[in-house]
Copies of this chain bind each other. A is one copy, B any other.
Amino acid sequence: MPTDLYKVTLSEDQIPTHWYNIVADLPTPPAPPLHPATGEPLTPADLAPLFPMGLIEQEASTERWIEIPAAVREIYRLWRPSPLYRARRLEQALGTTARIYYKYEGASPVGSHKANSSVPQAYYNKLAGRTRLTTETGAGQWGAALAFAAEIFGLEAAIWQVRSSFEGKPYRSAQMAVFGGKAVASPSELTAIGRKLREQFPDTTGSLGMAISEAVEVAAQDPNASYSLGSVLNHVLLHQTVIGQETLKQLEVFEEPRADYLFACAGGGSNLGGIAFPFIRENLAGRQQVKITACEPAAAPSLTQGEFRYDFGDTAGMTPKLKMYTLGADFVPDPVHAGGLRYHGMAPLVSHCYHEGYLSAIAIKQREAFEAGVLFSRAEGIIPASESNHAIAGAVRQAKATPAGETPVIVIGVSGSGQLDLPAYTEYLSGEMPNT
């Protein structure tokens, strides 16, 4: 019998001591990344100009458990363990006998799961003597998380924010500035590729691909700088596994030894991998049989509509080639509000797990996502991020499909807070949100 609690917040000494590396448990190994020019499997040396060795080692590691450095765990204590809630009022609103739980990453600094990886990334860069981090950001969540982490370790953060987002979402660049990070609108005058793009397309509103090119250009030319990525790569998903590990422990405190369904939103894949990989471990070991569903936006349906093949991580073809579900590196998603999910590909590890049948996927249009988000907000008092609404919509579908009297355990990964997404809610409530 489950407890009558609403929420479980573990004590600080229950913050995971290790990140979980799913590669160690995969029966078939995932395909390696390839050098963009030679087509050969990538070596650590190929990555050295862009990343510090600590992260490169994690990227290629096959060890099951990688110890979280004490300095990183110390910073995690500012907000971790994050709470797991029983969504009792959402269950009532849905009239379901299913038991719904949600893991909430929105109470972190910057309001999303992104800080789980920005902090170790900044740490390993500091350790390697780098003084400057460059990155790109679309919706701004990753940029804010990196600014916070850079501040902690005394590094400079230079963030190229897609121009349309920079101009349309001033709260996000304000948040980066509070944490001491500097966001510039991309394409910018600060890089050769930026100046070229501005000359070619004077009216461009920018794109993630352009912003990546600028951030990579600066990091590649400056020996004191590293490039940081907020999703897709193995080491980023590795860092996020604190989410799923905590969730498993918290379900035990709720006296729910088994979950039946897990829903998480998926863009680049770091939120999904972070919560799902520890559950996949349980499934592979035969201890649980959790049905895991990636909830992607219908506007960027890489898993449900893409091809599983090698492709570039960016539009310009500057990155290594990754074996992943992709809509093509030149795919431009419709402008949906879940900016954090507008990516043409899917993390290679998530893609591999999907290909092997360890998780399934659904694509959700944004009106259904926001309908679920408003229902959730009114019931639970927490306004979820646009991205998280896709996971909630998946869980709502499942709860509605549950026959009366049946009591499956449904877990939702709520990756972030929607306080800075409020204009999107306004558009939804006005009835004018395009249903893409």
Q: A residues engaging B (CB < 8 A)?
A: 5-7, 9, 12, 77-79, 89, 107-111, 115, 148, 151, 170-171, 174-175, 177-180, 374, 377-378, 380-383, 417, 419-420, 422-423, 425-426, 429
* A425 interface neighbour in B148, B177, B378, Cβ under 8 Å: B177
Give 26 CB contacts A-B under 8 Å. A6-B77, A7-B12, A7-B77, A79-B381, A109-B381, A109-B382, A110-B381, A111-B419, A148-B378, A148-B381, A151-B378, A170-B422, A170-B423, A171-B423, A174-B422, A174-B423, A174-B425, A175-B383, A175-B422, A177-B425, A177-B429, A178-B374, A179-B377, A179-B378, A180-B378, A420-B422
B6 touches A422 (CB 8 A): no
Chain B residues whose C-beta falls within 8 Å of the C-beta of A417 in the assembled complex: 419
In chain B, what residue has the closest Cβ to A382? B109
In chain B, what residue has the closest Cβ to A420? B419
CA of A106 to CA of B170, assembled, Å: 21
CA of A350 to CA of B108, assembled, Å: 34
For A6, A79, A374, A422, which residue has the most chain B Cβ atoms within 10 angstroms? A422
Question: What is the oligomeric copy number?
Answer: 2
Query: How many whole Å from A175's CB to the nearest CB in chain B?
Result: 6
User: Which secondary structure dominates where chain A touches chain B?
Assistant: helix
CA of A383 to CA of B108, assembled, Å: 11
In chain B, what residue has the closest Cβ to A148? B381
Known: A77-B6, A171-B423. A429 touches B89 (CB 8 A): no
CA of A107 to CA of B178, assembled, Å: 19
* A426 interface neighbour in B89, B109, B151, B174, Cβ under 8 Å: B174
In chain B, what residue has the closest Cβ to A383? B178
CA of A148 to CA of B89, assembled, Å: 13
CA of A178 to CA of B380, assembled, Å: 12
Query: How many whole Å from A100's CB to the nearest CB in chain B?
Result: 14
B381 touches A115 (CB 8 A): yes
Chain B residues whose C-beta falls within 8 Å of the C-beta of A107 in the assembled complex: 107
Query: How many whole Å from A225's CB to the nearest CB in chain B?
Result: 21
A6 touches B178 (CB 8 A): no
Chain B residues whose C-beta falls within 8 Å of the C-beta of A5 in the assembled complex: 12
Chain B residues whose C-beta falls within 8 Å of the C-beta of A383 in the assembled complex: 175, 178
Chain B residues whose C-beta falls within 8 Å of the C-beta of A6 in the assembled complex: 12, 77-78
Chain B residues whose C-beta falls within 8 Å of the C-beta of A108 in the assembled complex: 381
* A178 interface neighbour in B177, B179, B180, B429, Cβ under 8 Å: B429
Query: How many whole Å from A141's CB to the nearest CB in chain B?
Result: 12
Chain B residues whose C-beta falls within 8 Å of the C-beta of A377 in the assembled complex: 178-179
Chain B residues whose C-beta falls within 8 Å of the C-beta of A151 in the assembled complex: 378
Query: How many whole Å from A108's CB to the nearest CB in chain B?
Result: 7
Query: How many whole Å from A107's CB to the nearest CB in chain B?
Result: 5
CA of A426 to CA of B174, assembled, Å: 6
Query: How many whole Å from A422's CB to the nearest CB in chain B?
Result: 4
Given A175-B383, A175-B422, 18 additional A-B pairs, CB 8 A: A6-B78, A7-B12, A78-B89, A78-B381, A108-B381, A109-B382, A115-B381, A151-B378, A170-B422, A171-B420, A171-B423, A174-B422, A174-B425, A174-B426, A177-B425, A177-B426, A178-B374, A178-B425
